[in-house]
Amino acid sequence: MVKIDGSNSKIAENLKGRDLLTLLDYTSEEVAYLLEYAMNMKKEYMAGNMPRLLAGKTLGMIFEKHSTRTRISFEVGMIQLGGYGMFMNARDLQIGRGESVYDTGNVMSEFLDGIMIRANSHEMVKELAQHTTIPVINGLTDIFHPCQALADILTVKEVRGSVKGLKMAYVGDGNNVAHSLIIAGAHMGMHMAVATPEGFEYDPDIFGQAQKIAEQNGGSVMQTNDPVEAATSADVMYTDVWTSMGQEEEAAARLEAFKDFQINDALVAHAKEDYMFLHCLPAHREEEVATSVIDGPNSYVFQQAGNRLHAQKAVLANLL
């Protein structure tokens, strides 16, 4: 595991019992520590070692939205750490029938060692965290997706050895995935370029906070409505679906608005020759990404998906 010395033992101590709602709440040193911890956890796993750091502990996993990667990776992660992940459909809980978030949070604190929640509203998750005495981990909300971002940066670090100074271009919707990705990259001193159609830009307040973090780490954050500008000389190309869950009624309008923002062979020609392609999945081939790109030699999407397990194990081991 990560060697605890005089410097990072303080980080480990500070992480214990914390919530993970957004990476804006974490220092750059804490983000770097979690990524290094995840790298070491993966090495241990590949060597056949699975330290039972959470033996006897239970993670409650609340889902308001459908999930493949989030549910499997958190549940398997808890098993590998010696604990137990308990799946809970929000519709089956009393909170789905009108029980207050205050009551739910306080009651769950009596039973569980931590909560992971995949929810519609970030404000509700913030409220839940306020009324629990156990860590609350954001598995996805309408504004942030921090565990995905940790896995994203972990993948780049694993392939390239170092991420500081690399350029990552995100092309698509300025959504929850984009928000957390840019914040994570800023923490690691990357140069983050976001290209969205007009009207689908990044949240300006979050963008401003990410810029400040990037400047402190020798990186940068820029936003444009020109995908070519973002892609030029990029080390990493990243996209997400154009229509997220809950936006199905907007699908036709979004297809029209995003038609010039597909990551395809023409766009990646502006990136570096050895660029990495990332996508948080699920993907819609021939919409946000051409099949030739996502299934091509520069694609790391399945390694990226697998790294959800290791990034989240690092979070679980340190927070719980």
How many folded domains does the chain comprise?
Answer: 2
Instruction: Report if residue 22 sits inside a domain.
Output: yes
In terms of Cα–Cα distance, which of 80, 228, 230 is closest to 169?
Answer: 230
Q: Is 214 a domain residue?
A: yes
Task: Assess whether 208 and 71 both reside in one domain.
Answer: no
Model pTM? 0.95
Whether residue 299 is found in the same domain as residue 150: yes
Residue 173 lies in a domain: yes
170 shares its domain with 291 = yes
Backbone conformation region of residue 95, classed left if phi is above 0, alpha if psi is from -120 to 50, else beta: alpha
pLDDT of 142-190, one tens digit each? 999 999 999 999 999 999 999 999 999 999 999 999 999 999 999 999 9
Q: 65, 47 in Cβ contact below 8 A?
A: no
What pLDDT tens digit does each residue of the chain (320 aa) get? 666 555 688 999 999 999 999 999 999 999 999 999 999 999 999 999 989 999 999 999 999 988 889 999 999 999 999 999 999 887 777 665 677 889 988 999 999 999 999 999 999 999 999 999 999 999 999 999 999 999 999 999 999 999 999 999 999 999 999 999 999 999 999 999 999 999 999 999 999 999 999 999 999 999 999 999 999 999 999 999 987 766 677 778 889 999 999 999 999 999 999 999 999 999 999 999 999 999 999 999 999 999 999 999 999 999 99
Percent of the chain residues topping a pLDDT of 90: 86
pLDDT value, residue 250: 76
- Asked if residue 168 belongs to a domain, the reply is yes
CB atoms under 10 Å from CB of 36, counted, come to: 16
pLDDT value of position 65: 82
The whole-angstrom separation of Cα 96 and Cα 98 is 6
pLDDT for 128: 94
Which two structure tokens, joined as six digits, stand for 51? 């330290």
- The kind and range of the H/E element at 17 are none
**Domain identity same for 118 and 219:** no
Q: How far apart are CA 72 and CA 76, in angstroms?
A: 6
Which residues face 162 on adjacent strands? Answer: none
* Pair (150, 139) in one structural domain: no
If asked whether residues 251 and 166 sit together in one domain, one would say yes
**97 shares its domain with 176:** no
Distances from the Cα of 19 to the Cαs of 31, 126, 130, in angstroms? 13, 10, 10
- pLDDT of amino acid 93: 74
265 and 182 co-located in one domain: yes
- Reduced to 3 states, what is the DSSP secondary structure of residue 59? strand
pLDDT at residue 278, rounded to an integer: 98
Check residue 94 and give its pLDDT: 66
Cβ neighbours around 246 below 10 Å, total: 10
Which residues are bridge partners to 110 per DSSP? none
Angle at 174 between CA 170 and CA 177, to 5 degrees: 70
Task: Give the residue numbers annotated as catalytic, written as ranges.
Answer: 118, 145, 148, 240, 280, 308
**3-state DSSP helix/strand/coil percent for the chain, to nearest 5?**
45, 15, 35
Residue 1 lies in a domain: no
CA dist., res. 167 & res. 153, Å (int): 12
Range of the domain at 43: 8-144+308-319
| Structure-derived torsion over alpha carbons of residues 308, 187, 165, 149, reported in degrees to the nearest 10 | 20
Tell me if 62 is assigned to some domain.
yes
Helices and strands of the chain, counted as H and E runs: 13, 9
Cβ atoms of residues 261 and 172 within 8 Å: yes
- 297 and 258 within one domain: yes
Instruction: Say what the pLDDT of residue 214 is.
Output: 98
- Say if residue 131 is in the same domain as residue 35: yes
In a domain, 3, yes or no: no
Same domain, 152 and 130: no
Q: Any idea what the CATH number is for the domain that residue 200 is in?
A: 3.40.50.1370
**Does one domain contain both 48 and 132?**
yes
Residue pair 88/95 in contact (Cβ under 8 Å)? The answer is: no
pLDDT at 3: 60
